Amino acid sequence: AGEFVFLADLGAINGIRATLKRVAATGSRVLISGPAGVGKEVAARLLHLWSNRAQSPFIVVSAARMEPERVEEELFGVEENGELIRPGLLEQAHGGTLFLDEIADMPMTTQAKILRVLTEQAFNRIGGQRIVKVDVRVVSATARTLSEEIEAGRFREDLYYRLNVVPVHIPALNERREDIPALVEHFLARFASERRVPTPTVTEDAVGALQTYDWPGNVRQLRNIVERTIILAPGDRIGRIELDMLPPEVLSDQARLAPGEAARSIMGTPLREARETFEREYLRVQIRRFSGNISKTASFIGMERSALHRKLKTLGLVDPREDEVE
């Protein structure tokens, strides 16, 4: 189901998908960057599936989840007196793809040994003398800025250049808000099918709230919130997801525009000032919803683009950026 994030016609993802498909047929190493929850492992799995290694193993090495003292045992395996005790993840990935997740968490000593694997496609098991040869394609991922990790002395620069042959960056969900309606529709269909109920529709204001929210947990958080909304929806309302059915964290921005709250805060405010306050907040939310695209915002709210520019200037709102699409 996570593959939808990269297979659907989603604005910012189209270029990423094209890059993954182009590089899949080669043996080139790929470094996937992006914040937690954007789908870095999903992208790596698709890269593997589109490659000529698709019938061979896809092995995940998650340095962040391993005990530092056991990372090398997990990677290289263990040998005693010339006998194989336990094969490592590198051997398990032979002929396929090794996915190094959160490589910035890998100990420096292990980084040096990984560098040898990349240069020689060979290694020694822990406790062993014999050289083990492997044929693996290495794909790595990180949520950190590796140039900063290198500068701080926590990541090897030579390893970085070995891994970063083809860089692929997956942007945060709040940088591609136009993808949110299609993702919501997909997750609704998926979870409704699992619960054997018809796929709900979503009201315009609920979609707007979802597009306005900042999504610190990215696509993973969106998926969880859609699932939670379906689970908690009252039986008589399951067919239509409305604004008040969304979780509190999503509604935090919308609450500022709620009539009850507004009434309490502007009781002593002159009409003109109250109207300006509402317009300023309304436009701020709508501009964020459309990722700063003034033309799209103007079209949605029913204003001429030039008029919206004047209004933004009057209200003291700075244009977030120039239009990407005129």
**Residue 34, domain CATH:** 3.40.50.300
Residue 208 in domain: yes
Per the listing, tokens 């270029």 go with 15
The range of the structural domain enclosing residue 207 comes to 174-251
Task: Looking at the structure, tell me whether residues 86 and 166 fall in a common domain.
Answer: yes
Domain of residue 292, CATH code: 1.10.10.60
Asked whether residue 202 falls in the same domain as residue 213, the answer is: yes
Instruction: Extract the tokens encoding 183.
Output: 């993702």
Count Cα neighbours of 2 within 13 Å in the Cβ-side half-sphere.
15
Q: What is the pLDDT of residue 269?
A: 64
Q: Are residues 151 and 198 in the same domain?
A: no
User: For the domain that residue 209 is a member of, what is the CATH number?
Assistant: 1.10.8.60
Q: CA–CA separation, 267 vs 250, rounded Å?
A: 27
pLDDT of residue 254: 55
Residues 31 and 121 reside in one and the same domain = yes
Q: Are residues 225 and 302 in the same domain?
A: no
Same domain, 167 and 178: no
Asked if residues 278 and 262 have their Cβ atoms less than 8 Å apart, the reply is yes
Q: Does residue 68 belong to any structural domain of this protein?
A: yes
Residues of the chain with pLDDT under 70: 1-2, 4-5, 7-9, 253-269, 318-326
Number of domains in the chain: 3
**Which residues lie closer than 8 Å to 298 by C-beta, 6 or more apart?**
304, 305, 307, 308
Do 64 and 117 sit in the same domain of this protein?
yes
Specify the pTM. Answer: 0.76
H/E element, 115: helix 108-120
DSSP 111: H
Residue 268: per-residue pLDDT? 53
Q: Do the beta carbons of residue 209 and residue 244 sit within 8 Å?
A: no
Closest CA to 128 of 87, 93, 89: 87
Percent of the chain scoring above 90 in pLDDT: 43
185 found inside a domain? yes
Q: How far is CA 34 from CA 46, 83, 142, 146, 324, in A?
A: 16, 41, 7, 11, 22
Of the candidates 90, 128, 93, 130, which has an alpha carbon nearest to the alpha carbon of residue 110? 90
Alpha-carbon distance of 158 to 37, in angstroms, equals 28
In sequence order, what are the beta bridge partners of 62? 101
Residues 277 and 190 in one domain: no
| Residue 325 within a domain | no
The pLDDT value given to residue 263: 46
In a domain, 205, yes or no: yes
Other CB atoms within 10 A of residue 159 CB: 20
Residues 140 and 230 in one domain: no
Regarding whether 162 and 13 lie in a shared domain, the answer is yes
Q: Is residue 319 part of a domain?
A: no
What pLDDT, on the 0 to 100 scale, is given for residue 249? 85
Tokens of 111: 């980084």
pLDDT, position 320: 46
Q: What pLDDT score was predicted for residue 143? A: 95
326 lies in some domain? no
Q: Is residue 321 part of a domain?
A: no
**Last residue of one domain, picked from the residues 229, 251, 273:** 251
Last residue of a domain, one of 251, 280, 298: 251
Query: Which of 145, 171, 197 is the last residue before a domain boundary?
Result: 171
